[in-house]
Chain A
């Protein structure tokens, strides 16, 4: 295992999100942001198992998936700054794309990108190549009709789809208890619909990688879709840069427990304990990544502003006709 690279990936996501969080009060990121602080391991592991021909779609909380898939961070900063970024300043934080690395799209409507991912995996199946589509969504999306419709279709057609549910227990402020009957187990539901499903600790990157490997092997050997539920937790508010635990919608004990399970501390502690890296080296790497991200951010501010009349011309695609 490339330990340093794994840690680097974790820091890339954490430092990007922290920078947005720190800079947000300056009112230059003039759009909603849904940060993934606390949920990094699920994304940091992507490129250790999947390649750029494996495609990915995501939800409103997409920064981590975009970065984990190898998306251009400078283009993302520019996009959130309202400059001519990865989506021309039109999509903003919730609508990211970087086709060059297979990160196709993310959507601001809960569940909306799930069938799009299934459609992409349908095209992959038709091509008969060994590639799949990763679909990232939250626990809230598993309450949408379109989720079940998509699972049903993928199972029916035996598509190379990897459904990845990041269960962070809350849909904005609404806990699972107000949204789902007590004994609803999404793994059982999905299994009964014909899709193999497993649960894993989303804050333990070893488990994440192992689960991805298992899923990939299953999808290509059995020629069937796969479903993963990663348990995880977000550390800042649903939308925005700040801690909102003063609102008391999450039990204090729960917050404490999950903060002890920070995916980055967990991995760093392991590296130190196993004498793979020294604490000093980890701190140095963290600083290095922080500077790297800061430079990307600084450069992204030099991107041009989007032009209104060329933006308007994008409403219809007149190019290829």
Chain B
């Protein structure tokens, strides 16, 4: 097998590995098995494992979630939503059933259900195709919520989630799909990972903002400024020990929030690190406090662009902001790479 692999290929490989291991696993979702195969993540799986196990479904997000919960009481089910926004239709089943089923019946029941929810960005995704309510999911007891960044993350998180007796939601960002990295099977999922070391500050990033953190790392290395970069993989449960430890050293906490700031995962991390007794300064860099407009001429103002982010960080750290960001600034802010033409 060719390794490194793209993020979307890693999904496909994890699904294959799981479907092969347990023949009772079902994989369903709108678009599973259609010509586009959920942005090529389910390509070839129907041919390999049959239409009884891998199939397209009616537009019934809520019932499908309940059906997977019911099926998951006996066996295992994977449900895919092409947008996180569509999953909102199923919050009754997610919150009132899936998340509580083990708890509410005194530990007598469990349901193996894994839900993939893809977050869109750019190419006019607009107010209802670009939402990520990760913090909302983070507040539900009994749910596990992951937001993987690279191919290795998604490969291991997806595979292990399928066999986790708890309900798991995996948030996937559309802009990470074409990125390549090496995958290696891990026995356990990491919930948080330090990906770089430095003393100037602690950068906390989640999902798609991990990419921004790597870009910041390169930009700041122009003046040999180094940060601790901590990648959050598990939003629920959320662990902040590693962050607190790092902040104790660096005294500066920079949080790259993938959504907007209010009631966010970043503000939660900030609060938790604060109550752990560490004294530090902090800055959250996030989307504007609004739903994302569709227009190309508006959406660039909503997402923090790299040039502006560098400026904010320099101000925060009281350092000279003369950095060359040209190499990392998108000429067209609404596409992840020059070949991307959406449509979604």
Measured CB to CB, the residues of A under 8 A from B are: 57, 84-91, 95, 97, 99, 104-105, 107, 109, 112-123, 126, 145-146, 149-150, 152-153, 156, 314-317, 319-321
Contacts and interface: CB of A to CB of B under 8 A. Distances in A.
Interface of B: 24, 26, 52, 57-58, 60, 62-75, 77, 92-93, 96-97, 101-110, 141-142, 144, 164-166, 237
A319 B109 CA distance: 12
26 contacts: A84-B106, A87-B108, A88-B105, A88-B107, A90-B105, A90-B106, A91-B104, A99-B108, A105-B109, A109-B92, A109-B96, A114-B63, A115-B67, A115-B93, A118-B67, A119-B66, A146-B66, A149-B60, A152-B60, A153-B57, A153-B60, A314-B102, A315-B103, A316-B237, A317-B107, A317-B110
A87 B70 contact: no
B109 A104 contact: yes
Contacts of A126: 24, 26, 52, 75
Contacts of B109: 97, 99, 104-105
B63 A115 contact: yes
A156 B67 CA distance: 13
Given A97-B108, A317-B165, A319-B165, A116 B64 contact: no
Contacts of A114: 63, 66
A97 B105 contact: yes
A87 B206 CA distance: 37
- Ranked nearest first, the 10 interchain pairs of A and B with the lowest CB-CB distance are A119-B70, A88-B106, A115-B66, A149-B63, A149-B60, A116-B70, A119-B67, A119-B71, A123-B74, A115-B63
A119 B69 contact: yes
Contacts of B58: 149, 152-153, 156
Nearest to A75: B106
Contacts of A118: 63, 66-67, 70
Contacts of B141: 315
B164 A321 contact: yes
A308 to B, nearest CB: 13
B107 A104 contact: no
A320 B67 CA distance: 22
B104 A95 contact: yes
Nearest to A145: B62
A281 B97 CA distance: 45
A316 B106 contact: no
B103 A149 contact: no
A117 B93 CA distance: 13
A88 B74 CA distance: 21
A145 B61 CA distance: 11
B62 A149 contact: yes
A79 to B, nearest CB: 8
Nearest to B57: A153
A145 B64 CA distance: 12
A291 to B, nearest CB: 29
Given A88-B107, A123-B70, A146 B62 contact: yes
Contacts of A99: 108-109
B67 A315 contact: no
A86 B106 contact: yes
B93 to A, nearest CB: 7
A284 to B, nearest CB: 37
Best-buried of B64, B71, B164, B237 by chain A (most CB within 10 Å): B71
B21 to A, nearest CB: 15
Contacts of B63: 114-115, 118, 146, 149-150, 152-153
B105 A119 contact: no
B163 to A, nearest CB: 8
Given A90-B105, A112-B96, A115-B93, 15 more contacts: A90-B103, A97-B108, A104-B73, A107-B96, A112-B93, A115-B63, A115-B67, A120-B70, A121-B70, A126-B75, A146-B92, A149-B60, A152-B60, A153-B60, A317-B110
A112 B91 CA distance: 11
A180 to B, nearest CB: 20
B326 to A, nearest CB: 47
A133 to B, nearest CB: 8
A87 B75 contact: no
B71 A120 contact: yes
A122 B62 contact: no
A254 B73 CA distance: 42
Contacts of B67: 115-116, 118-119, 122, 150, 153
Contact of A316 (B64, B72, B142): B142
Nearest to B165: A317
Contact of A116 (B97, B108, B144): B97
B143 to A, nearest CB: 9
A209 B1 CA distance: 60
A315 B73 CA distance: 16
B165 A91 contact: no
B331 to A, nearest CB: 44
Contacts of B62: 115, 145-146, 149
A321 B165 contact: yes
Nearest to A118: B67
Given A87-B108, A115-B67, A321-B164, A120 B74 contact: yes
A107 B70 contact: no
Contacts of B92: 109, 112, 146
Given A89-B106, A97-B105, A314-B107, A115 B96 contact: no
